[in-house]
Amino acid sequence: MKRVLILVAICAILGGVYGYYLWNKPTADASSQSTDFEVESTALYQEYGNNAAEADAKYLDKAIVVVGTIATAPSTTESGLVSITLDGGEMGGVNCELSPEASKASVNNFQMGQKAKIKGICSGFNDIDVVLNRCVVLP
């Protein structure tokens, strides 16, 4: 009887610890996600410009690798997240927000006109930019 109680108690503690771990697990960046897509930023922008619903069906919530020219000066939010926009061929582009770790590592590494290869998770098209979140910089 005592043994059963101890077993139950151990299970409860382990369950609690696991629950606590799950609850506090930080949001993952794109690096660990597999991807089927590697596209030029201009091509991705055009796909969204032509038919946003179709592009959403293909890309929304998926990890994408995007290659393109940095079109705007990098910006940093108050919380320290760095963003760069890759050329979309028109007014908008592919707006990439880096993960906190990637932001810290590459805050001074970007210049307008440079080529960049970014992997991020697509959150859709806000009528100006295609947005990628939790991005990492690929070599």
Q: Toward other proteins, which CB reaches closer, 67 or 83?
A: 83
Q: Toward other proteins, which CB reaches closer, 116 or 120?
A: 120
Helix, strand, or coil (residue 60): coil
- How many whole angstroms separate alpha carbon 116 and alpha carbon 128? 20
Cβ neighbours for 102, distance < 8 A, ≥ 6 positions apart: 29, 82, 135, 136, 137
Q: Which residue type does 96 have?
A: C
Question: Given strand 130-138, what is the order of strands in its sheet?
Answer: 37-40, 63-69, 115-125, 130-138, 93-98, 82-87, 75-76
Q: Toward other proteins, which CB reaches closer, 36 or 127?
A: 127
- For the bound state, the minimum distance from the C-beta of residue 100 to other proteins, rounded and expressed in Å, comes to 9
Apex CA 102: angle with CA 52 and CA 58, to 5°? 20
- For the bound state, the minimum distance from the C-beta of residue 65 to other proteins, rounded and expressed in Å, comes to 18
- For the bound state, the minimum distance from the C-beta of residue 30 to other proteins, rounded and expressed in Å, comes to 13
- For the bound state, the minimum distance from the C-beta of residue 74 to other proteins, rounded and expressed in Å, comes to 11
Residues at the interface with other proteins (CB under 8 A):
22-28, 56, 60-61, 75, 77, 79, 81, 83, 85, 91-92, 95, 97, 121, 123-129, 131, 133-134
Residue keyed to tokens 């705007």: 72
Q: Toward other proteins, which CB reaches closer, 1 or 78?
A: 78
